[in-house]
């Protein structure tokens, strides 16, 4: 078969590798790797960060005073009312943003307005659903010292396992129960403060998922629904069964509760000053960028893993706010999605045989923690695979080559049930349709429930959701090869292959595809992008 010919392009997002192209830089957990791609390979770069709003506080005030399809917030506040404000948890944005966090800015505006209107009965709830509860310092960082001192810990907690404080407000016509936090349901007004990082965030998902319990969330977080999703990042109902069910449940929320939704969109400026060069094309790096990269690489290669994580976690992301909308959930979400896609959407023509990607050190589920093997899996097949609209970036039965050291490193405080899932359940098989029968055992395990309720652990069932998240990708991709895996047992346990270096991985890919010159694409994410792929 003829080698794909390099095509001349002026598309700023697309670059084709030729003889003069140097290596491309990919994430390798807490380190980086330089990859020399075959000639003719395509590299897809995210859009540059959009210009942030000049005055975020003014934008917040404008949004809550001129909401979409709702009365202005001040008109909904009155003395003696019961108000609950729910906020997104630490899983957004990634990495945590430079202070002040957008949630703190919005909460400050809302609480000032409440004080002026005599509203005193106020609860803040971090909408964790089955995610881990945040620690005091994490909450303080997110909402600021003043708000933290006023509300922590009693009025900042959603406990999905507190049966007395979960209430069912109704069922959809498909008998999906909508079971939510009692305080939020019984409030005269629920304000939801969202941070939108990827297009599947926000909208009805904020309330119906963030504030629900296991019974409710299991209606859509299951293998059947995941297999019916063509892309989690495309919220159209014919593309995402998940979005369809969530919207159905959201309609019950709209009917039974008074929700004032505030959504925000961030640009993709995720690298702090020290790592700024990673967000640019390698070809445009200055000498200083190259020196910075070599210096940071030298340091990261020489220090232990825990120190590497500390170094990277200490660099917050200088995200800029690019939109704030408030009002009724659906129109607000629609506007935010439009802005989000302006930032994230990258038009791409043609699929590839081999998709190459680096896995970074952070995911929504391991902030201040380690990226364990299940999370590596969810980053590859759950997120990177799903960052598309139209058709997947990779052809059916194509090969995904990912870069990650793949250590069996679990945070026992945050991910206790992951350990059992990884060692016991994945030893029995990797097919979700076979292993989902163990889901209930984990969900009802009293030890994991206690660790979720009173510790900082993800709910016992969470590793199943992480595995289901990869279902659509697993069903589509023919082979996943982990390049540079330092513990080969990890890829094997995940049902993947491994290769010591990129050349070997490419040989394995060629052999699997039966093509001597497969079409190779490197997804240069992060920063996040959503490829609008035309087959």
Partner 1 sequence: MKAVAFYDVDGTLVSTNVVHAYAYFARNVPTISGKIKRSATLAVSLPFYAFADRLGRKFFNDVFYKNYEGINEDRLYVLGEELFEKVVRKRVFRDMVDLMKRSRAEGYAQVLVTGAISQLVRPLAAYLEVDAWFANELEVVNGVATGRLVPPVLAGPEKAAFVRRYAIEHGYDLNLCRAYADSASDIPMLCTVGRPVAVNPDSGLRATATAHDWPIIQAD
Q: Token digits for 63?
A: 């949004």
Give kind and range of the element (H or E) at residue 469: helix 462-469
Q: Is 256 a binder of partner 1 (CB under 8 A)?
A: no
Nearer of residues 361 and 410 to partner 1, judged by Cβ = 410
Helix and strand totals (H; E) in the chain:
23, 19
The backbone region for 43, taken as left when phi is positive above 0, alpha when psi lies in -120 to 50, beta otherwise, is beta
Nearer of residues 133 and 333 to partner 1, judged by Cβ = 133
Among 12, 153, 455, 500, binds partner 1 (CB under 8 A): 455
Instruction: Give dist(CA 443, CA 438) in Å, integer.
Output: 9
Nearer of residues 21 and 487 to partner 1, judged by Cβ = 487
Nearest approach in angstroms of CB 385 to partner 1 is 29
Distances (CA, A) of 505 to 15, 301, 419, 522: 22, 22, 28, 14
Query: Please, what is the end-to-end C-alpha distance for the chain in angstroms?
Result: 20
518 φ/ψ angles, rounded to the nearest 5 degrees: -70, 155
- Reported as half-sphere exposure (CB side, CA atoms, 13 A), residue 218 has a value of 15
Q: Indicate the SS3 state at residue 418.
A: helix
Nearest approach in angstroms of CB 407 to partner 1 is 14
Nearest approach in angstroms of CB 454 to partner 1 is 5
DSSP string, 307-318: HHHHHHHTS-B-
User: Which part of the chain contacts partner 1 (CB under 8 A), choosing from 259-267, 427-435, 448-456, 516-524?
Assistant: 448-456
Local structure of residue 97 (DSSP, 8 states): B
Instruction: Give dist(CA 88, CA 97) in Å, integer.
Output: 13
Q: Looking up tokens 């896995």, which residue turns up?
A: 359
Nearest approach in angstroms of CB 132 to partner 1 is 14
Nearer of residues 368 and 521 to partner 1, judged by Cβ = 368
Nearer of residues 31 and 459 to partner 1, judged by Cβ = 459
- Reported as half-sphere exposure (CB side, CA atoms, 13 A), residue 355 has a value of 31
Q: Is 451 a binder of partner 1 (CB under 8 A)?
A: yes
Nearest approach in angstroms of CB 34 to partner 1 is 35
Nearest approach in angstroms of CB 459 to partner 1 is 13
102 φ/ψ angles, rounded to the nearest 5 degrees: -60, -30
Q: 450 Cβ partners below 8 Å, 6+ apart?
A: none
Q: Are 447 and 490 in contact (CB under 8 A)?
A: no
Q: Is 449 a binder of partner 1 (CB under 8 A)?
A: yes
Q: Is 476 a binder of partner 1 (CB under 8 A)?
A: no
Nearest approach in angstroms of CB 415 to partner 1 is 10
Strands 177-181 and 189-193: unpaired
Nearest approach in angstroms of CB 361 to partner 1 is 22
User: Which part of the chain contacts partner 1 (CB under 8 A), choosing from 38-46, 192-200, 281-289, 450-458?
Assistant: 450-458
Nearer of residues 256 and 454 to partner 1, judged by Cβ = 454
Binding pattern to partner 1, positions 387-426, x when CB under 8 A?
A: -----------------------x-xx--x--x-------
Binding pattern to partner 1, positions 427-446, x when CB under 8 A?
A: -----------------xxx
Among 397, 447, 503, 534, binds partner 1 (CB under 8 A): 447
Distances (CA, A) of 476 to 279, 350, 385, 407: 29, 16, 9, 25
Among 237, 396, 454, 515, binds partner 1 (CB under 8 A): 454
Nearest approach in angstroms of CB 450 to partner 1 is 5
| CA 295 distance to own-chain centroid | 29
Nearest approach in angstroms of CB 505 to partner 1 is 31
| CA 278 distance to own-chain centroid | 19
**Residues in contact with partner 1, total (CB under 8 A)?**
16
Q: Are 456 and 376 in contact (CB under 8 A)?
A: no
Instruction: Give dist(CA 235, CA 220) in Å, integer.
Output: 14
Instruction: Give dist(CA 527, CA 45) in Å, integer.
Output: 9
Nearest approach in angstroms of CB 309 to partner 1 is 18
Instruction: Give dist(CA 181, CA 162) in Å, integer.
Output: 9
Nearer of residues 250 and 416 to partner 1, judged by Cβ = 416
Nearest approach in angstroms of CB 418 to partner 1 is 10
Nearer of residues 142 and 451 to partner 1, judged by Cβ = 451
Q: Is 136 a binder of partner 1 (CB under 8 A)?
A: no
Among 361, 448, 458, 465, binds partner 1 (CB under 8 A): 448
Nearer of residues 256 and 412 to partner 1, judged by Cβ = 412
- Reported as half-sphere exposure (CB side, CA atoms, 13 A), residue 304 has a value of 2
Nearer of residues 309 and 512 to partner 1, judged by Cβ = 309
Which residues here bind partner 1, judged by CB under 8 A? 410, 412-413, 416, 419, 444-451, 453-455
């Amino acid at each position: 078969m003829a080698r794909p010919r390099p095509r001349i392009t002026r598309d700023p997002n697309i670059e084709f590798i030729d003889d003069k192209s140097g290596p491309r830089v990919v994430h390798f957990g807490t380190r980086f790797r330089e990859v020399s791609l075959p000639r003719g390979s395509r590299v897809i770069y995210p859009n540059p960060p959009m210009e942030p709003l000049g005055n975020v506080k003014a934008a917040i005030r404008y949004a809550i005073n001129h909401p979409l399809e709702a009365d202005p917030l001040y008109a909904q506040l009155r003395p003696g009312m019961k108000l609950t404000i729910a906020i997104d948890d630490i899983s957004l944005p990634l990495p945590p943003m430079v202070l002040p966090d957008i949630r703190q800015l919005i909460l400050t505006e809302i609480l000032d307005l409440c004080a002026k209107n005599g509203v005193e009965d106020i609860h803040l709830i971090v909408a964790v659903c089955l995610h881990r509860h945040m620690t005091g310092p994490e909450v303080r960082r997110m909402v600021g010292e003043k708000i933290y001192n006023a509300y922590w810990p009693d009025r900042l907690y959603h406990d999905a396992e507190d049966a007395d404080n979960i209430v069912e407000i109704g069922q959809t016509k498909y008998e999906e129960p909508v079971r939510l936090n009692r305080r939020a349901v019984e409030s005269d007004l629920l304000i939801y403060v969202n941070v939108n990082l990827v297009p599947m965030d926000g909208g009805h998902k904020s309330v119906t998922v963030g504030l629900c319990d296991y019974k409710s969330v299991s209606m859509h977080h299951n293998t059947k629904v995941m297999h019916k999703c063509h892309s989690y990042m495309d919220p159209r109902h014919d593309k995402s069964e998940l979005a369809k069910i969530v919207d159905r449940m959201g309609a019950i929320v709209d009917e039974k509760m008074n929700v004032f939704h505030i959504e925000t969109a961030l640009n993709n400026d995720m690298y702090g000053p020290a790592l700024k060069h990673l967000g640019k094309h390698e070809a445009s790096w200055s000498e200083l960028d190259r020196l910075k990269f070599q210096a940071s690489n030298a340091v990261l290669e020489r220090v232990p893993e825990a120190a590497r994580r500390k170094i990277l976690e200490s660099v917050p992301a200088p995200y800029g706010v690019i939109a704030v909308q408030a009002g009724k959930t659906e129109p607000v979400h629609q506007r935010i999605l439009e802005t989000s896609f302006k930032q994230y959407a990258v038009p791409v023509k043609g699929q590839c045989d081999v998709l190459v990607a680096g896995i970074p050190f952070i995911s929504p589920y391991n902030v201040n923690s380690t990226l364990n093997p299940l999370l590596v899996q969810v980053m590859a097949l759950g997120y990177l695979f799903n960052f598309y609209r139209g058709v997947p970036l990779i052809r059916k039965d194509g090969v995904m080559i990912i870069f990650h050291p793949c250590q069996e490193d679990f945070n026992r405080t945050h991910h206790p049930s992951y350990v059992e899932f990884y060692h016991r359940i994945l030893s029995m098989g990797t097919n979700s349709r076979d292993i989902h029968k163990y889901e209930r055992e984990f969900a009802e395990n009293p030890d994991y429930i206690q660790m979720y309720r009173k510790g900082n652990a993800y709910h016992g069932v969470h590793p199943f959701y992480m595995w289901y998240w990869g279902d659509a990708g697993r069903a589509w991709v023919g082979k996943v090869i982990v390049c540079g895996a330092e513990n080969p047992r990890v890829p094997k346990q995940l049902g993947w292959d491994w290769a010591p270096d990129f050349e070997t991985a490419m040989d394995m890919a060629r052999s699997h595809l039966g093509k001597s010159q497969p079409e190779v694409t490197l997804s240069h994410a992060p920063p996040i992008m959503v490829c609008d792929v035309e087959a």
